[in-house]
Structure 1
Amino acid sequence: METNTLQSLLSDVIDFLRSADSLLNSHMVSFISENVWENRIPGEIAEEINRMTYDDTLNVLYAIGGLKDEASLIDYVLSPPVDCRALVQFLVQCRKYSLEVLSSTRETRRYFKCKTKEGDEGSLVLKCVKPNISPQYLTPAKKRHEVSLMSVFIAGFFQKYLDKYEISGAVVDIGGGKGYLGSSLALHHGIKVLGVDVASNVSSAAKTRNEKICRKLSEKCTLYQQKTAYVSPKTDLGGLVKELEGDWGKVDCVALVGLHTCGNLGPSCVELFASKASSGIPISMLCNVGCCYNLLEEKFDPEGYSNRAKPCLPPSLNGKLVEVPLDSNPGFPMSTFLCNKNFWLGRNARNLASQSLDRVMFEKKISVDALFQRALLQNVLMELANDASEPERGVLLLKLEKMLIDGKGIGRLAKGNCVLGVYEYFTRAFGKLGLKFTLSESDVDEMCLKFKHFKSKITMFYIMRMFLAPVVETVILLDRLLYILEEGINEAYLVKLFDPVVSPRCFALCARINID
């Protein structure tokens, strides 16, 4: 598959992101202290919003956010309900660069495949060959949604390949966790599956769960096996599978799959597939759904821009130590095209990409109480630092800066979804920071009243900025797709597997290597 169109598209998208950098790399905690509303929104857009009512602005945001194809976007541009040309142009451009819209656009849909059209090459449907697993083994509902759709897709995808070449194969499920996907592939579709996870206690839990299901279905458990290992681009998956041929019989090829592989694990899987380095048994297919873009480590860190993510190497899971190497490779960018541009996103952009515009558009409501409290707290802390004498001032400013750079700030101060009152929130936050809190409850109430008008502005800004989230995801996933194509693997594309409201990271990167 030619790459010129994809390179041109990526160039356009990253140019657009750079033009929106004032929004993209703003920080919600600094909304009040840095007057983000006045300083970060492009001038013409700010003028339009300031002329519009709050309700009119939200209506425009929700209307455009719900459009999912290019024709609908064009129609909206031709007849907007209010005079806000600059705002509409920005929002429409964001939507045009989302994977959802690109998948239906004539020039770019070659890089996508549909999983739903019967008889189409992209339709990879296979009926279950075993009884359904009881819902109690697939909780919560989000996981049931993901596993049911992805297991059917992978089974069809893989079985067509095996039937075409009259060979046998096995699936390796990377980051398999408790084995939801792997056991579904094995027990529903009769596919040999090796689940690999970095934590031994998680692999053990997957084994226990699978044995319970097998007893319920009166099945043997040999089709689904578990292995504890840290996966890198150098991992010999073929060697791991070969160890199981005593139970499985001969295996001719491997399909590498992953459901929501976290941070750098996603690109590691892509690189492992493209390297063709598996000994004995080749990796012939890939189906990977990534997640946790905020945990991606970037290759390029511009001088003075210290916001690289920490490597996604969990020191512990459920209290159990995890043995992992320290030589992880940065996961973005992957393609030579973006590497040659020294392209970087930044932590704020990656954090944003992990959020869900689709859910906000579906629910059409958003609570900004927590955002308002945190922004108000930041303003208080900055005022406290500015009024303090040295060395206290320098210590506090350094602490605040480190919180923003490391992405580890105040964190949750209440259990569940409970939102504390502002005074109690301030009290707990100061205690967590090791600072003395001297404001009275009446002082805090007066402050809330003074800055109350920021709440509506936070809501509008938050939603408008979130339009950029799918654009950042587009860059991340198209970079991975381009990397595979650059490696000479021509059959590669993106497939929308899930309902994005239920499972926001809904696109799978799929590829296969044909046998000569």
Structure 2
Amino acid sequence: MHNITSIGRSCSIMQCLKSAIFKENPVKNERFLLTGLHACGDLSATMVKLFAECHEVTAVVSVACCYMKITTDLDQPQMGRMNNQEDSYRYPLSEFVQKLPDHCLPYKSREASCHALEDYKLRLEENTNHLKMHCYRAVLESMIRESYPEIIRPPVQTVKKAYDLPFLEYVKLAFVKLNLELPNEISDSSRFESMLSRWQQVVTYYTISVMVASVVEMIILLDRMLFLEENNFECELSATFEPTLSPRCFSITAHK
């Protein structure tokens, strides 16, 4: 099978998958099972579409992840059905959800759906210093937006054992990883102390977002189920393994 992990656009993924099936396997009447364990972003939805469109693919088992990387009609409002570009986005897939008012899922909602509810529950019970990292990150992003307003979603990399570091040390390491110049205002730590003292409020907000994570995940997965049912395929959604092993444990299976 071709390596398709570096292909960003959904249509390229679809073309690559079809090429792998038809060109590398020209045997007539050959049947395929399409599987994906934690297939990232658009790839999982593309597998579902390929199953529906490709006669040779007679079954699919898909365990998705990274919902925030899904291309949506909110991201490309002028594309999709208007220009007959069926592969321009991967949510929503079903006609039922497309017709619902306010069906859009913004990036923040999709990002929240990737949180690990079970793991975070343990962190809350243990009440460790790890919890303060949410406030560290929130204040850091406030600093970045203030100094670099053109950066909408800063790709902040993990700072090892950041919860054991003084906040300003954490900020310096984060800016180095982002390859950004440190703002002069950082020397005045008093302006950040009031925000850091509200870390429990940040934890509360984060906890609420984690609580609704599974709801958003189910919306995305049920949309794919509805798409399959609209195309007259039998399908099933089930928890394949324990969420403590991986929070992305739900699989969609379908067959012809």
- The aligned counterpart of 2:116 is 356
Match for residue 88 of structure 2? 329
Q: Write the distance in 2 (CA, Å) between the matches of 1:466 and 1:429.
A: 24
**Are residue 374 (structure 1) and residue 106 (structure 2) matched?**
no
* Change beyond 3 A, Cα 1:369–1:269: same
Aligned pair in 2 of structure 1 residues 425, 507: CA closer, same or farther (>3 Å)?
Answer: same
Is 1:197 paired with 2:3? yes
Is the 2:2–2:20 contact (alpha carbons within 8 Å) kept by the matching residues of 1? Answer: no
Counterpart position of 2:97: 338
Q: 1:421 to 1:457 in 2, by over 3 A?
A: same
Cα shift at 1:473: 0.3
2:82 is matched with none
Corresponding residue for 2:230? Answer: 486
Q: In the superposition, relative to structure 1, how do residues 196 and 508 fare at CA in structure 2: closer, same or farther (>3 Å)?
A: farther
Equivalent in the alignment of 2:81: none
What is the CA–CA distance in structure 2 between the aligned matches of 1:438 and 1:408, rounded to whole Å?
Answer: 19
Write the letter of the residue equivalent to 1:454.
R
- Map of 2:157 onto structure 1: 412
Distance 1:462 1:265 in 2: 28
Q: Secondary structure at the match of 2:44?
A: helix
Give the RMSD, CA atoms, in angstroms.
Answer: 3.0
Note if 1:254 corresponds to 2:2. Answer: no
Amino acid at match of 1:286: V
Contact 2:34 2:61 in 1 (8 A): yes
Letter in 1 for 2:95: T
CA distance in 2, matches of 1:495, 1:381: 41
| Alpha-carbon spacing, 1:439–1:507, altered in 2? closer, same or farther (3 Å) | closer
Kept in 2, the 8 Å contact 1:289–1:508? The answer is yes
Report whether the alignment pairs 1:297 with 2:59: no
Instruction: Measure the CA separation in 2 of the matches of 1:417 and 1:349.
Output: 27
How far has the Cα of 1:295 moved from its partner? Answer: 0.7
Q: What is the percent sequence identity of the aligned residues?
A: 25
Q: In 2, are the aligned partners of 1:362 and 1:501 still within 8 Å (CA)? A: no
1:403 equivalent in alignment to 2:209? no
Q: 1:335 to 1:447 in 2, by over 3 A?
A: same
Q: Does residue 510 of the first structure (1) align with residue 253 of the second (2)?
A: yes
Unaligned runs of 5+ in 1: 1-194, 201-229, 304-326, 386-395
Measure how far apart 1:338 and its partner are. Answer: 1.2
- The AA in structure 1 aligned to 2:135 is F
Take 1:360 and 1:453, find their aligned partners in 2: how far apart are those partners?
A: 21
Cα deviation, 1:406-432, whole Å, max 9, x if unaligned, reads: x234x1263x34443212233345664
Q: Is the 8 A contact 1:368 1:458 kept in 2?
A: no
In the alignment, the residues of structure 2 paired with residue 379 and residue 236 of structure 1 have an alpha-carbon distance, to the nearest angstrom, of 45
Q: CA deviation at 1:284?
A: 1.1
Instruction: Work out the CA distance in 1 between the residues paired with 2:117 and 2:186.
Output: 37
Q: Which residue of 1 aligns with 2:181?
A: 434
Map 1:228-239; keep pairs closer than 5 Å.
231-232=13-14, 235-236=18-19, 238-239=21-22
- Aligned pairs, how many? 235
SS at match of 1:286: strand
In the superposition, the TM-score normalised over structure 2's length comes to 0.78
Say which of 212, 218, 234 aligns to 1:474: 218
Summarize deviations over 1:183-237 as a string: whole Å, max 9, x none: xxxxxxxxxxxx443269xxxxxxxxxxxxxxxxxxxxxxxxxxxxx64067155
Letter in structure 2 aligned against 1:408: P
- SS of 1:197's partner is coil
CA distance in structure 2 between the aligned counterparts of 1:302 and 1:256, rounded to whole angstroms = 28
Cα contact 1:264–1:295 (8 A) shared by 2: yes
Task: Determine if the alignment matches structure 1 residue 463 to structure 2 residue 210.
Answer: no
1:34-49 map, 5 Å: none
Q: Greater RCO between the two (CA within 8 Å, min separation 6)?
A: 2
Decide whether the 8 Å contact of 1:256 with 1:285 is kept in 2.
yes
Q: Which of structures 1 and 2 has the bigger CA Rg? A: 1
Is the contact between residue 136 and residue 196 of structure 2 (CA under 8 Å) also seen in structure 1?
no
* 1:10-54 CA-partner distances (Å, limit 9, x unpaired): xxxxxxxxxxxxxxxxxxxxxxxxxxxxxxxxxxxxxxxxxxxxx
Kept in 2: contact 1:301–1:344 (CA 8 A): no
Residues 236 and 430 of structure 1: CA distance in aligned 2, closer, same or farther (over 3 Å): closer
Question: 3-state SS of the aligned residue for 1:242?
Answer: coil
Taking the aligned partners of 2:74 and 2:175, their CA distance within structure 1 comes to: 35
Unmatched segments (≥5 aa) in structure 2: 7-11, 78-85
Q: Deviations over 1:97-152 (max 9, x none)?
A: xxxxxxxxxxxxxxxxxxxxxxxxxxxxxxxxxxxxxxxxxxxxxxxxxxxxxxxx
Shift of 1:266: 0.7
Alpha-carbon contact 2:157-2:174 (below 8 Å) kept: no
SS of aligned partner of 2:14: coil
1:452 and 1:263, CA in 2 relative to 1: closer, same or farther beyond 3 A? Answer: closer
Say if 1:497 and 1:506, in contact at 8 Å, map to a contact too. yes
Measured in 2, the distance between the counterparts of 1:199 and 1:452 equals 39
Q: What do the CA deviations read for 1:272-309 (whole angstroms, capped 9, x no partner)?
A: 0011x34xxx2211111111111101013498xxxxxx
**Separation of aligned partners in 2, 1:430 and 1:437:** 13
- The residue that corresponds to 1:217 in the other structure is none
Contact 1:298 1:330 in 2 (8 A): yes
